[in-house]
Amino acid sequence: MSGDETTGAMVEGEDTSLLIVEDDKPFLTRLARAMETRGFVVETAESVEEAVAKARAHPPAYAVVDMRLGDGNGLDVVAAIREKRDDARAIILTGYGN
């Protein structure tokens, strides 16, 4: 393994934009900091409304989205990102078992 593989460093020139959508503020802050240290350019949102607006204005290459948010479903955020950028990759988080 090279050093880049072990540290998770980004490839030069790669779009490292990341939108994190989470309504648990302390977790959002910790996750954003962790991803910034790994080379991502992080934008955060605490609601579906805020996230959709940010996704439409600047569609990210990556997204980490909470499934259940106070004002709606995180899948709506993923759909908004995909409308503008079909190559985006998303991870959905949920604290629920089903």
Looking at the 3D structure of the chain, how many domains does it have?
1
CATH of the domain at 55: 3.40.50.2300
13 within a domain of the structure (yes/no): yes
For 10-45, how does the pLDDT look when each residue is reduced to its tens digit (9 = 90+)?
666 799 999 999 999 999 999 999 999 999 999 999
47 within a domain of the structure (yes/no): yes
pTM assigned to the model: 0.85
98 within a domain of the structure (yes/no): no
Distance CA 66, CA 96 (A): 11
Residue 45, by phi and psi: left (phi above 0), alpha (psi -120 to 50) or beta? beta
For 39-87, how does the pLDDT look when each residue is reduced to its tens digit (9 = 90+)?
999 999 999 999 999 999 999 999 999 999 999 999 999 999 999 999 9
* Cα dihedral sign, 92-23-17-52: positive
- Sheet of 89-93: strand order equals 41-45, 17-21, 62-66, 89-93
24 within a domain of the structure (yes/no): yes
8 within a domain of the structure (yes/no): yes
Query: What is the domain range of residue 24?
Result: 3-93
